[in-house]
Amino acid sequence: MILYPIYRLVKDEIERVVEPRSGVYALIDPEGKVVYVGRSDTNLREELLKHLPEVEADPLIRKGAPQFFYFEHPSFVTEGYERQCILYHQFRPACNVEHPAKPFPYLKCPICLE
């Protein structure tokens, strides 16, 4: 699976293309490798702004040096969790140290059924 479109991980680009609502994202390094997959159940724009290189708090993600991002705005939080799981299992990003967290305890991952 190829993620398309991808955008530059810069403030102006995030504010231009990402709506302030729930969503799923992938952070991508200069070689096109997905280094992290995440989700926001409330405001994806704010979540992505936390990953700008100058403010990134996670040392693993800083080391992965993402310069691009991909995102989706699924209609429901449950869809967002499913999409995050699919991206996580497909790309096995080095900066994701554990399986995506469930927004609701009754949900199961569509891939591993955890």
Q: What is the pLDDT of residues 37-96, one digit of tens each?
A: 999 999 999 999 999 999 999 999 999 999 999 999 999 999 999 999 999 999 999 999
Buried b (16+ CB within 10 A) or exposed e, 1-14: eebeeebebeeeeb
User: Whose CA is closest to 101, among 75, 81, 78, 76?
Assistant: 81
The label of the residue with tokens 């709506």 reads: 19
Rounded Cα distance between 108 and 114, Å, is: 5
Q: What pLDDT score was predicted for residue 2?
A: 79
Q: Which amino acid is at 37?
A: V
User: Whose CA is closest to 4, among 23, 22, 26, 20?
Assistant: 26
Terminal CA-CA length for the chain: 23
The domains located in the chain, with CATH, are 7-91 (3.40.1440.10)
User: pTM above the 0.85 mark?
Assistant: yes
DSSP code at position 110: T
